[in-house]
Structure 1
Amino acid sequence: MSSFNDPDAVARYLEGPIAKVPGLAALHRMAELLLAEVVPDDGRMLVLGAGGGLELKAFAVARPGWRLVGVDPSAAMLGLAEETLGTLAPGIQLIEGYIDDAPETTFDGAACLLTLHFLSPEARLHTLRELRRRLRPGAPLVVAHHSFDTSEAGKTRWLRRYAAFASPSGRLAPGADAANAAMRERLPVMSPEAEVRLLEQAGFEGIELFYAGFTFRGWVGYRV
């Protein structure tokens, strides 16, 4: 994730999710609605991987009473989040770091969007367990990230579809296969079935799939 500390890459960051994640605004809206089923109007909400600020802004606009805490390891990305939030920024606590740097307090809900696919299964399990530890019993966690068939044929098929979706023409751009090969190496993607097992292992129950957009999947689960 070194690119998140590259000023040029950070400046262009917001273009990526909007172009490459199917229904990004709807994903944020669905996440907010699922969280709001349990999180009170003045609830305390943790957003892990908050750099860029898109989900923070969506949550803050829809639920102005939520007390939002955003955590991200990149100072540059947190700076971009402040820009995205604009006048909303003073009401939101932004923390540079990883899950272990998040406040040792009890949250009413949490979200981690477009982040966990960067982590190894071991680091992902640790992160999920630490998220759980910071949630009150019954509190919701919403996650969404790359998750698809991880067989060799499945990876090829889905990454080519991902690249075609991200292309304005809907066709694979020159160099797409090389970019897909880099993604294979860089991202420790897990299958949807493995993702659910990991959430259960971390101490979440009632896990439901709520979002599927080509290579992306999203689940909601609740702290045991």
Structure 2
Amino acid sequence: MPTPQEPMQKPTIDFDTNPTVPTSEYDEMARIALPGYEAMHTMALSILKSHLPKTANLLIVGAGTGMELIRYSQSNSEWSFLGIDPSANMLEIARTKIEQHNLSECITLQQTYTHELPSTPLYDAATSILVMHFIPDDAKLAFLQSIAQRLKQGAPFILVDIFGKKGTPEFERIITYIQSYWEEMGRTEANIKEMLATFEKGIYPVEEARVYELLQQAGFTNVIRFYTGIWVGGWVASTC
């Protein structure tokens, strides 16, 4: 498996200071901004269940406000989780939710980046949902390598991100579709302008072919796309 470079994995949007996306509103905004958000998590969970035994240890990269952690742990009482995120505010919300649901015994939270984790233990599975598109293209490979290095051989990995090539006619049409979708979701013209401005400043999507290339270079195989929500894709792969 490739040895990871020393990566620059800091997000281009700081969720602790960014006024456009307050952490307290992140869950609601994600459901509006990302078509099929709830269904995507159900699909990801079903894929993990099909791969994993009754007892498993999962790494959740970009744990955010904890929605993913709570949903997965409620469905699998014998799975254990490490949720990592660089945002202290996000993790504070997640910690409150976890305590409210009495899930502290099976979920551990840590404010860190993947490449800063120790090389052991190795995990049975990992997810990176709506994280990598915040990382510039020249640092994406190191990010994926840092995850692959912390997984057991054959472990499943769920990756979900905005994808496409900015500036192309195809992607411009997709932006038109997503604007229309946001309008249907009740967003005002001012809201939509703010969301698009955030996208232009701090989101770095790549074409699907590049996603496959990066996953393979990082040490993953058997890549399959399982979800598309206009401009968001979801892929499952496994470590070599």
TM superposition score normalised by structure 2 = 0.85
3-state DSSP of counterpart to 1:14: helix
Is the contact made by 1:95 and 1:102 (CA closer than 8 Å) also made in structure 2? no
- What is the aligned counterpart of 2:117 among 85, 92, 102? 102
Give the stretch that moved more between structures: 150-159 or 16-25: 150-159
| Structure 2 partner of 1:44 | 57
Report 1:34-113 matches (<5 A).
Answer: 34-85=47-98, 86=100, 87-104=102-119, 105-113=121-129
2:171 is equivalent to residue 155 of structure 1: yes
Q: Deviations over 1:22-77 (max 9, x none)?
A: 22221111111111222221111000000111111111111111110100001110
The alpha-carbon distance between structure 1 residues 204 and 11, as it changes in their structure 2 partners (threshold 3 A), is same
Task: Please say which of residues 61-70 and 151-160 is displaced more in the overlay.
Answer: 151-160
Which residue pairs with 1:14 in the alignment?
Answer: 27
The one of 206, 214, 225 equivalent to 1:198 is: 214
Deviation, 1:142, is 0.3
Q: Provide the rounded CA distance (Å) in 2 between the counterparts of 1:190 and 1:2.
A: 17
Aligned-partner Cα distance in 2 for 1:89–1:24 = 25
**Residue correspondence of structure 1 range 108-123 to structure 2 within 5 A:** 108-123=124-139
Does residue 4 (structure 1) correspond to residue 19 (structure 2)? The answer is: no
Counterpart contact for 2:13–2:134, Cα < 8 Å: no
In structure 2, C-alpha distance between the alignment counterparts of 1:48 and 1:223, rounded to whole Å: 16
Please say if residues 16 and 23 of structure 2, whose CA atoms lie closer than 8 Å, have aligned partners that are also in contact: yes
Equivalent residues of 1:160, 1:180 under 8 A apart: no
Q: Please, which runs of 5 or more residues in structure 1 have no aligned partner?
A: none
The equivalent residue for 2:238 is 222
Higher mean alpha-carbon deviation, 38-47 vs 68-77, is at 38-47
The offset of 1:168, in angstroms, is: 4.1
CA RMSD of aligned residues (A): 2.1
Q: Summarize deviations over 1:115-163 as a string: whole Å, max 9, x none.
A: 1100012221111111111111100000101012434323322223223
Q: Is the 8 A contact 1:160 1:177 kept in 2?
A: no
- Kindly indicate whether the alpha-carbon contact (under 8 Å) linking 1:164 and 1:170 is maintained by their aligned counterparts in 2: no
Distance in 1, Cα, partners of 2:132 & 2:180: 23
Task: Report what 2:8 is aligned to.
Answer: none
- The percent identity for this pair of structures is 27
* 1:7 Cα deviation after fit: 8.6
Q: CA deviation at 1:199?
A: 0.5
Aligned AA (1:138): G
> 1:168 and 1:89, CA in 2 relative to 1: closer, same or farther beyond 3 A?
farther
CA distance in 2, matches of 1:32, 1:216: 17
Structure 2 vs 1, CA of residues 84 and 205 (structure 1 numbering), >3 Å: closer, same or farther? same
Q: More helix by proportion, 1 or 2? A: 1
Higher RCO, 1 or 2 (CA under 8 Å, sep at least 6)?
Answer: 2
